[in-house]
Structure 1
Amino acid sequence: MAIAKLAFDRSLLLLAVLLILLVNINLDYRWSRAADYFIYDQLMQQSGLPETDDIAIIEIDDQSLSLIGEWPWDRAFHAELINILTQANARVVAYNLAFGSGNVPLTSSDYVLAEAIRHNGRVVLPVYFDRVFNAGPLELVLPHAALIDEAELGHVNVYLDGDGVYRQLRVNDLFQQQRWPHFSLKAFNLANPENQKRMSRKKIC
């Protein structure tokens, strides 16, 4: 009886040691991460939200390029598109294009675009953090100075998981102690001002 109990205790001890080794090895090599990603992806696919018909995606595709011309397009064209969306009473215009300056002087098209954004009053433009040089410090990349005062801004920073897939976003991101809401959150709040008021009340409370 005692011999059988001793053998049983040794088996438990060996199993415990083996489990500890596996846990430590997994911490170093992250063997279970692939399984975690797979399970998460499957759950997300099964719990997706239903499609909605009140969001229109205007895509820049090969057909657009063949009809309008090579990229980049004149900014007056973007202004024309925003004016069309303004006339259509779009609740918000999330224009995910980086209209940077590139140290280029302002042109008449820049002023036309700025005026279209001002007239709409519900345009969101992207900002992002980038490194000019691979080893250099992060820099905040903003739209052209002529557009900043006319548009709402939201970050579009992308943080990939270990397998190179984009699964999550930062609702708010910090750059030099300044908080930037995500591009999609900014657009949602503009389209749903009552949500913004509700969130503001929660912060006060």
Structure 2
Amino acid sequence: MSNTRVKKLVILSMLGSIAYVLMLLNFPFPGLPPFLKIDFSDIPALIAALIFGPLAGILVELIKNMLDFVMTGSPTGVPVGHLANLAAGILFILPTYYVYELLKKTKKGMTFGLITGTFVMAAFMSILNYYVILPAYTIFAGATAMSGAETRQMITTAILPFNIVKGILITVVFMLLFVRLQTWINKQSIYKKYKNA
């Protein structure tokens, strides 16, 4: 294995570990159900995507969720919540990355990318929760199944607002970091340089 590939794997592992720690520092948001907790663990994954490309961002999302499942476990015994977190992270970072690239790596492009990522994540997570995630919790947690009306209410009053608030908070925090890191990130040619390494 080449030194460049080792270096890339070390950096991605480090970003995955940082993402895991940030995942542990979660908190509820006032007005939303306490089981929906916000964290900033998607930020290291987004940084990985910007430096190494979108697959690296997905890998960081995967690392943090695997670490959390192994170290913390899941109340259902299966990683339903972790898979939901993985899906949400991917749905956030990929649109952000591609819009930023499309708009020539500018601050404006990053702002539009983060906004796009927020709304893509919120919309698709609502759909996934309706058809997959909430039914899976019902099956694996042994909870009483919700009616279609109850599920829709849960999504419109909790899941959708949660993902929008989460995306907005990540956008604000990431932009505060990005104004300082943009030049450094844009100078990194590691992804282009190492993608064939």
Q: Establish whether TM, by shorter chain, passes 0.5.
A: no
Indicate the structure with greater strand content. 1
The structure whose residues are more often helix, as a share, is: 2
Query: What TM-score, normalized to structure 1?
Result: 0.26
Structure with greater Cα Rg: 1
